[in-house]
Amino acid sequence: MNILALSGNVKRPSRTASLVNVAANRLRQRVGGDVQSIELVDAAPVLFRALRADQLDTEGKAIIAAVEGADIIVVGSPVYRASYSGALKHLFDLVDYRALAGKRVILAATGGTLLHGLMLEHQLRPLFGFFNALTVPTAIYALEADFADHELTNPAVLERIDRAVEEVATITPALDIGATAAPGKHSGLAA
């Protein structure tokens, strides 16, 4: 299971990157697999060398391949002017429109006020709807006050992360159902 922790942060340290990484690591603990992390503070300068996917260099193609090749994406962005970061938008302008169909996605964001949390439903969820990805119902939003030294500390936000992780686990097929069946017993699936 390839889990991508994709953070739209354009500065470091980043509360958004911390939130995304906590969610991705809890997801890895729940469903297994490997976590790859991409922060746009590092990736954006590479991606902005190209305005179209056919202009990407080898480094840029590797970033887009990581996004397109992920089984599950935990994506987060700081809220900028009532939307996700422009760097994140540019990344998704370079992703093939068919590449994310059926992929499971956890949405996350950080912002300055509770009202900014609406960005998840009005901006980020429709983006993944365009790609035909499966966003789980629970989105994760955190305020600056939910962190201490850029580390997530609010138990209520951690509970939302756990709920989103369980939602992903519910819609994620087992990698090898037969391997989990006891010896001499079938998995319960018709052959």
Q: pLDDT by residue (tens digit) across 124-168?
A: 999 999 999 999 999 999 999 999 999 999 999 999 999 999 999
Q: Which of 88-92, 110-114, 152-156 has the lowest average pLDDT? A: 110-114
Q: pTM, whole model, 2 decimals?
A: 0.89
- The percent of the chain in helix, strand and coil, each rounded to the nearest 5, is 45, 20, 30
184 conformational bin, left if phi > 0, alpha if psi -120 to 50, beta if neither: left
For residue 189, list its beta bridge partners: none
Q: Give the span between the Cα atoms of 140 and 160, in whole angstroms.
A: 6
Q: Give the span between the Cα atoms of 154 and 165, in whole angstroms.
A: 17
Cα 104 to Cα 8, 9, 22, 141, 169, distances in angstroms: 18, 21, 17, 18, 10
Cα 13 to Cα 17, 79, 173, distances in angstroms: 8, 16, 35
Q: Write down how long the chain is.
A: 191
Q: Find the mean pLDDT for residues 4-17.
A: 97
Q: Give the span between the Cα atoms of 51 and 57, in whole angstroms.
A: 11
Please give the share of the chain, as a percent, with pLDDT higher than 90: 86
Task: Say if residues 37 and 76 touch (Cβ distance below 8 Å).
Answer: no
Q: Give the span between the Cα atoms of 144 and 45, in whole angstroms.
A: 26
| Confidence category of residue 174, pLDDT binned at 50, 70, 90 | low
Q: Residue 173: its pLDDT value, please?
A: 76
Q: Mean pLDDT for the chain?
A: 91
Rounded to 5°, angle at Cα 44 from 6 and 46: 120
Task: Report residue 7: phi and psi, to 5°.
Answer: -115, 130
